[in-house]
Amino acid sequence: MTNGKKYVMYYPAWATYGRDFQVMDIDASKLTHINYAFANIANGECVLGDKYADTEKFFANTDSWNDPAGTLRGNINQLHHLKTQHPHLVNMISIGGWTWSSQFSGLASTQEGRKKFASSCVDYMLTYGFDGIDVDWEFPVSGGAAGMANSPNDRENFTLLIQALRDSLDLAGKQTGAYHELTIATSADPAKVYTSYDVPAISPILDFVNVMTYDFNGAWSTQTGHNAPLYANPQAMTPEFNIKTAVDTFLEAGLPKEKLIVGLGFYGRGWKNVQSNTDGLFAPANGASQGTWEDGVLDYSDLVENYVNKNGFIRYWDDVSKVPYLFNAATGVFISYDDEESMCYKAGYVRDMGLGGGMVWEVTSDYQKALQDLSYDVIVGGADACHF
């Protein structure tokens, strides 16, 4: 029983490659939703993001070389098999993301564009057998990655786009006999809550909202800080970047608490060239540290195996923000991350605040499932599993 609480896990299409974390490696017994990342956008329509990974890759556990031409394979077919084993699972297709949000602003700017997009995304959902749609427009009005199109009209057009999707999903539901959920992923920057989103308008349209309460700080900053602090530390360069402030702002803006899903990052962010004679926190830095798969980003599993109180790294704890961090004084490398202790505080906060649940980016970062098991048990199960 989930008691209505959501536990959403992103599975990125690229996990099937170098990370070698396959869909069937997911522990779906402790999930309510999988967000498959990502569908791309071409000519204002939803399209496959990686055709080979999505629909063509052969998996010996389920696929046969005798299958007819055009048989669905790949990650999407694996998601169907996973749901067969765990019928409670809701498979969502996530659209856009940091890299593929460039067309949102343009297509959302006209009624014709919104209708075309919504219709194509629902067709995508039905064609590939997903249960619902998750929109990851990063970000309306403010933009995101360099060169990302944006407009002051995005806020209003975002609402209209979400309504067009809801209308198309409802129409499809009359044919399928099922209800198809609609969710979004949003910025956690408190300044963007009001400027990017008309929260009172979008809240009734959406089933829930995944707030990306991580990436508050990273190697783009010239000072070290926390990737995902629970509470504000006044010594931080941007103390307003923390989970509690993001949650409070969304609630004050009118989002029902049962629709607010708190993002949980199963990874850390690292800096190099840190200038500090102490523990490295809030110190000047220049550049990204070595990462697990990309510079400056480190999987939790990697951190446990190679960094935490190992190889010159010492674990410290910020009791104000309730998160750990690592510093290697000899190499000048600082890493902000979450572990079981900080995840307990965050999961307990979600539970005690009566929020809608938790959302994880992303499943491959926690091979041992330590963070997933703990946070799911607290958020969904209501457990008091935090004893440190």
What is the torsion angle, in degrees rounded to the nearest 10, for the CA atoms of residue 345, residue 346, residue 347 and residue 351?
90
**Nearest to residue 169, comparing CAs of 240, 229, 219, 121?**
121
Q: How far apart are CA 3 and CA 36, in angstroms?
A: 24
Of 45, 56, 112, 138, the catalytic one is 138
Among candidates 268, 280, 269, which has minimal Cα distance to 329?
280
138 is catalytic: yes
Q: Is 384 exposed, middle or buried (0-12, 13-18, 19+ CB in 10 A)?
A: exposed
Q: How far apart are CA 149 and CA 129, in angstroms?
A: 31
Kindly list the distances between the CA atom of residue 299 and the CA atoms of 87, 268, 307, in Å, as whole numbers in the listed order.
29, 6, 11
Q: Which residues contact 342 (CB under 8 A, 6 or more apart)?
A: 230, 322, 323, 324
Q: Exposed/middle/buried for 138, CB within 10 Å: 0-12, 13-18, 19+?
A: buried
Question: Could you list the active site residues?
Answer: 138
